[in-house]
């Protein structure tokens, strides 16, 4: 469960979950190209672990980008652990997500079983 929560708190994943990008790959590209701010500072590390209370936002010049606008408009689902403000295109991680809130089709017991077999 901790591994799943860590994966969910990656910066590129939270950019995708916040609806700033249409796909996880687009979110990774936004982060990699430096279009994402964390607490007002430009960050280009997709694997950055966002901590509760940190604010993720899109740089000013990219807020008018047609792809970001379309992604925000088509985003119907916002996770409960994220607080969104679409007026300034920002999201705040309220708390570490719980396993029940993370929607991925993975049976983590199979992953643990696989790695236990290797040990």
pLDDT in tens, 72-111: 888 877 888 999 887 888 999 999 888 777 877 778 788 8
In order, the DSSP letters of the chain are -HHHHHHHTBHHHHHHHTTSSSSHHHHHHHHHTT-EEETTEE---TT-BPPTT-EEEE-GGGTT-HHHHHHHHH-----TTEEEETTTTEEEE-SPPPGGG------HHHHHHHHHHH-
Alpha carbons within 13 A on the beta-carbon side of 78: 18
For the cut 80, the answer to whether the pLDDT of residue 65 exceeds it is yes
Give this prediction's pTM: 0.84
State the average pLDDT over residues 55-76: 89
Q: State the Cα–Cα distance between residues 77 and 19, nearest whole angstrom.
A: 8
Q: State the Cα–Cα distance between residues 3 and 68, nearest whole angstrom.
A: 29
Look at strands 82-85 and 55-58 and give their pairing.
unpaired
**Segment 68-77, tens digit of pLDDT:** 889 888 887 7
* Phi, psi for 66 (deg, rounded to 5): -60, -35
Q: What is the pLDDT of residue 119?
A: 64
């Amino acid at each position: 469960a901790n591994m799943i929560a860590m994966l969910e708190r990656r910066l590129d994943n939270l950019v995708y979950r916040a609806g700033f990008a249409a796909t996880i790959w687009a979110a990774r590209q936004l982060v990699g190209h430096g279009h994402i701010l964390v607490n007002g500072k430009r960050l280009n590390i997709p694997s950055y672990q966002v901590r509760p209370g940190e604010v993720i936002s899109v740089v000013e010049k990219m807020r008018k980008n047609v792809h970001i606008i379309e992604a925000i408009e088509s985003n119907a689902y916002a996770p409960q652990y994220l607080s969104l403000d679409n007026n300034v295109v920002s999201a705040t991680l309220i708390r570490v997500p719980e396993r029940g809130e993370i929607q991925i089709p993975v049976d983590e017991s199979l992953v643990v079983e696989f790695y236990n077999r290797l040990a």
